[in-house]
Structure formats: structure tokens, C-alpha cells
Structure 1
Amino acid sequence: MNQIVEGGWITVIGITVVFAILTILAIVMYAIGAFERGMTGKRKEPERTGEVEGVKPPETETEEIPPRDLAIITASILAYLAKKAEVVRPLPFRRKVSDAWRLYGLQSGMDEVENFNYEIRKW
């Protein structure tokens, strides 16, 4: 019983040491990353909305597609995809291996057994 308790304590201490070392390594890696970001000057900058003080972004003209044309384009794409999906693809066809060799092996094995039994009866 004493050996089981001792083994349990060794297991608990071992797991604690492993997780303590992993925690220390994680903290060191985070500190090195923060130090590197500080040295190179790469800091997270706030996102810009696209407007700078006093300057407006140029307005781009976008063409709107009429609903009728959009419906025609969508229908043609769907028809193309449906036609492409219905193309019959040939399935790979494998010929069945001839059973002649397997049957010959079985027959020769049976012949050997029969000959063996015949030879025993001769004695």
C-alpha cells in the first residue's frame, strides 16, 4: 500500500513540474514576442475608416445590373452547372481475376492429401 501512495505522490509532483515548466516557457515566449515587437516598432495601429481629415474618398460609379439581365445570367449559369453535372462518367471497370489458379491450387492440395492417405494404407 505504501508503494501505491508513493507512486501517486511521484505522479502528482511530476505532472506539477511539467505544467510549471510549460507555464514558464509560455510566459518567456510571450515576453520575447513583446520585446521583439517593441524593438522593430511594429505595433497594432487602429483601423482607419478610409476618411482622412478634410479629404473625401473618390466616389466610384457602379453600374447596376437590371433585374431582368441578372435573372438571365443566373439562369444560364445554373443551366450550365446542371448540364455539366448530368454528364455520365464511365465507371472504372476491373476484370475479375480468373479462378482457375485458385481452383488448381485447391485441387493439387487435395490430391496430396489423398496420396498421403493412400500411402499410409499401403504400409
Structure 2
Amino acid sequence: MSSALIEGGWITVIGVTVVFTILGILALVLYFVGWLERRLVEREKPTTAPTPAPAPASIEAKQEEKPKIPPRDLAVITAAILAYTAEKVSQLRPLPFRRKISDVWRLYGLQTQMEDVEDFNYEIGKW
């Protein structure tokens, strides 16, 4: 009996050791991958030549190049999205459920408690 207990203890110790060793190796691999990624990103930054600061006129031109949505079209798109979501919400309905299935269990519990009190009173001679 004691040899089985000792053998089980050794198996447990070996199993826990193996699990934590593998977890440690995985942690080291993940740390190394993160370190390698940081190094590669740092190498890429210096190789790209810094671009000179653009002139203020070109910044204004870039801002004007943005496509603008006319207010009327924006209102139509917004109304369509709201109509779609309202239709989806109207299709949802709450599931019916009954709050009170029956009083049988509650009444049975009360009856059992009353019987216990009656039996107790009978046993001590008050009945």
C-alpha cells in the first residue's frame, strides 16, 4: 500500500515538473519572438528615409481631396440604417414564460414543516 502511494507521489512530481518545464520553454520562446520582432521593427525604421516636411499648401490640397458626402445623402443613408434597425427590433419578440408553474411544491413544503412540528410536539408530550 505504501509503495503505491510513493509511486503515485513520484508520478505526480514528475508530471508537474514536465508541465512547468514545457510552460517555461513556451514562455521563453514567446519572449524571444517578441524580442526578435522589436529588433526587426527597429531595423526597418532607420532604413526608410525621412520625408521632408510638406509645404502648407500641399496639406490644404490633401484635405480638399477627401471625398465629402453631401448632407442630403448622409441624411438618406442615416434614415435607411435607422429604418433597418427599427425593422429588426420590431421582429424580435420576448419569449413567453410562466412565472409561477404551480403552488404544489410550496404547499408540500409547508405541509412537511407542519408535520415536523406536530411530530416534535407529540414526541415531547404536548399533544
Bin for the TM-score computed over the shorter chain: 0.3 to 0.5
State TM-score, norm by structure 1: 0.37
Higher relative contact order (CA 8 A, sep 6+): 2
State TM-score, norm by structure 2: 0.36
